[in-house]
Structure 1
Amino acid sequence: MSDRLAVISGGGTGIGAAVARGLVADGFDVLVVGRREDVLTDAAARISFECGRAGAVRPVVADLTDPDQVERVVDAVRDRSVDALVNNAGGYRGGDTATLAGTAAHWRANLDANVLTAVLLTEALRPALRRPGGRVVLVSSIAAQRGGGGAYSAAKAALHGWAYDLAAQLGPDQVTVNVVSPGYVADTEFFGDRMTPDGHAKRVAATLVGRAGTPDDVTAAVRYLVGPDAGYVTGQVLGVNGGSVLGR
C-alpha cells in the first residue's frame, strides 16, 4: 500500500483510465469511480497488472449525481487522506430541445453530469484532503473557452468559476485547485459514433501542432498539477489543446 491516495472519477476509460495509470506509475494508490461496474473492474485489474502493482487500483461503483451513492467513495477512502482528487466524470448529454420541457431536461442532464458530479464528490471528500499538500483537479473542456457545445459548454465553464472559489477557500490549508481544459482528444468515448473523418480532420487542422490530442497528453498535465512541483500553482486553467485556443 502506498502512503499516497488518488481518487479519479470517470476513471474506467479514456482520459480517466490514462490518468489512473500515470498516477499509479507515480506511486499513488488509486480509486477509480464510475457507474459501470464491469468497465471499472476491468480497468482496475488491467492497470494494476500493467504497472506491476497488484491491487494498486480499486473500483468504486457510484453514480456521482446521487448523494447517497457518493458516500460509497467516502467509505472506500476510509480513514486515509486523499492526496489527489481528479474530477473527470462528465461528457455531452444530448436531448430533444424542441420543447421547453425538453430543453430543461437537456440542460439539467449536462449540469448534473459535469458540475454536480464534481461538486458532490469534492464536498464529500473535502474533510479527507491532505493538509497541507492536497490537490484537486477539475477536467473541463475547450468548449468552456470557445463555446460550440451549448449546455455542455456552459456546464464546463461553470467549473472554472467554482474552481476559483474553491482555490480561495482551500488555499490557506495549502491545498491547490486547478482546471485542466483539453481540446480535441482522440481515443476516448466522448464522441461515440458521432465523429466522422471530416470532423476529425477539421479538429486536427484547428491545432497549431497538426495532430489530435491523446489521453496521455492530458495525463501529463494532471501528473504535474498533483505532483510535488506544483504547490505554488492554484486557481489556474491549463489548456491542453494543441493551440486550438490560445492562452487567455
Structure 2
Amino acid sequence: MGERLAVVSGGGTGIGAAVALGLAKDGCDVLVVGRRADVLLATAQRLDAECGRAGAVRAVSADLTDPEQLDRVVEAVAGRPVDVVVNNAGGYLGGDPSTLAGTAAHWRANLDANVLTAVLLTEALLPALRRPGGRVILVSSIAAQRGGGGAYSAAKAALHGWAYDLAGQLGPEQITVNVVSPGYVAETEFFGDRMTPEGHAKRVAATLVGRAGVPDDIAAAVRYLASPAAGYVTGQVLGVNGGSVLGR
C-alpha cells in the first residue's frame, strides 16, 4: 500500500490516465473515477503493470454529476486520508443552440460536465483531505484564458474563480488548491473525429516550441503540484501550452 492516496476523475484515458500513472509512479495509491466501467478497469490494469506495483491503481465507476453516486467514491476511499484530488473530468459537449431551449441545454451540459463534477467530487472528499498537506488540482483549458469555446470556455473559466475561493478557504489548513490549464494536447479523445490535419498544424504553429502537447506534459505539472515540493504554491493557474498563451 502506498503512503499517499490520490483520486483522479476522468482517469480512464488521455490526460487523466497519464496523471494516474505519474502519481502511481510517485508512490501514491490511485483511484481513477469515470463513467465507463470497462474503460476504467482496463486502464487500472494497464497502469498497475506499467508502474510495477500490483493494486496501486483501482477503478471506481460513477457519474460525478449525480450527487448520489459520489458515495461510491467515498466508499472506495475506505476511511483513508486523501492526499490529492485531481479534477480532470469534463470536455466539450456540443448541442443545438438554434433555440433558447437548446442553448440552455447546451450550457447546462457543459457546466455540469466541467464544473459540477469538480465541485461535487471535491466537496464529497473534503472531510477526508489530509490536514496538513492535502492537494486539490483542477484541470482547466487554454480556452478559459483566450476564449473560442463558448459554453466550454465559460465553464473552464469558472473553475479559476472557484479555485481562488477554495484556496482561501483551505489555506489555513495547509491544503493547496491550484489549476493546470493545458493548451493543445494530442493523443486524447477531446477532439474525437473533429480534428483535421489543418487544425493540428494551426495549433502547433500557434506554440512557441513548435509541437503539440502530450498527456505526459500535463501529468508532469500535476505531479509537481501534488508533491510536497509545492506546499507554498496555491491559488495559481499554471499554463501548460507551449507558449500559445503567455503568462499574466
Is TM (by shorter chain) over 0.5? yes
Partner of 1:105: 105
The residue correspondences of 1:141-160 to structure 2 (distance < 5 A) are 141-160=141-160
Partner of 1:201: 201
Residue 96 of structure 1 is matched in structure 2 by: 96
Separation (CA, whole Å) in 2 of partners of 1:155 and 1:230: 26
Query: CA offset at residue 78 of structure 1?
Result: 1.4
1:111-160 CA distances to partner (integer Å, 9 max, x unpaired)?
A: 00000000000000000000000000000000000000000000000000
4+ runs of 1 displaced by more than 2 Å?
Answer: none
Whole-Å Cα distance in 2 between the matches of residues 141 and 23 of structure 1? 21
Partner SS state of residue 133, structure 2? coil
Letter in 2 for 1:101: A
Among all aligned residue pairs of Structure 1 and Structure 2, give the percentage whose two residues are the same amino acid.
83
Mind listing any 5+ residue stretches in structure 1 that lack a counterpart? none
Hey, what's the Cα distance between the residues in 1 that align with 2:146 and 2:122? 26
Give the aligned residue type for 1:134.
Answer: G
Aligned residues: 248
Helix, strand or coil at the partner of 1:138: strand
Aligned partners of 2:138 and 2:70: how far apart in 1?
17
Residue segments in structure 2 that go unaligned for 5+ positions in a row: none
User: Partner residue of 2:184?
Assistant: 184
Match of 1:66 in 2: 66
Aligned mates of 2:148, 2:14 — CA distance in 1 = 22
Matching residue of 1:230 = 230
Specify the alignment match of 1:31 in structure 2: 31
| 1:62 shift after superposition | 0.1
Deviation at 1:202, TM superposition (A): 0.2
Q: 1:115: which partner in 2? A: 115
Q: Give the CA deviation at 1:70.
A: 1.0
Report the Cα distance in structure 1 between the residues aligned to 2:89 and 2:71, rounded to whole angstroms: 16
Q: The residue matched to 1:40 in structure 2 has which SS?
A: helix
Query: Residue in 2 aligned with 1:138?
Result: 138
Distance of 1:224 and 1:51 partners within structure 2? 18
Q: CA deviation at 1:30?
A: 0.1
1:93-120 superposed Cα distances (whole Å, 9 cap, x missing partner) = 0000000000000000000000000000
Q: Measure the CA separation in 1 of the matches of 2:227 and 2:63.
A: 28
1:9-50 CA-to-partner distances (Å, cap 9, x unmatched) read 000000000000000000000000000011000000000011
Q: Please report the TM-score for the alignment, with normalisation by the length of structure 1.
A: 1.00
**Secondary structure of 2:169's match?**
helix
Supply the distance in 2 between the matched residues of 1:179 and 1:2 (Cα, whole angstroms): 25
Shift of 1:173: 0.3
What corresponds to 1:85 in structure 2? 85
Question: Aligned equivalents of 1:56 and 1:183: distance in 2?
Answer: 29
Considering only aligned residues, what root-mean-square deviation do their CA atoms show, in Å? 0.4
Q: 2:208, 2:150 → 1: CA distance? A: 25
Q: Which amino acid aligns with 1:199?
A: G
Amino acid at match of 2:27: G
Match of 1:241 in 2: 241
Relative to the length of structure 2, the TM-score reads: 1.00
SS of equivalent residue, structure 1 residue 184: coil
Q: CA deviation at 1:228?
A: 1.0
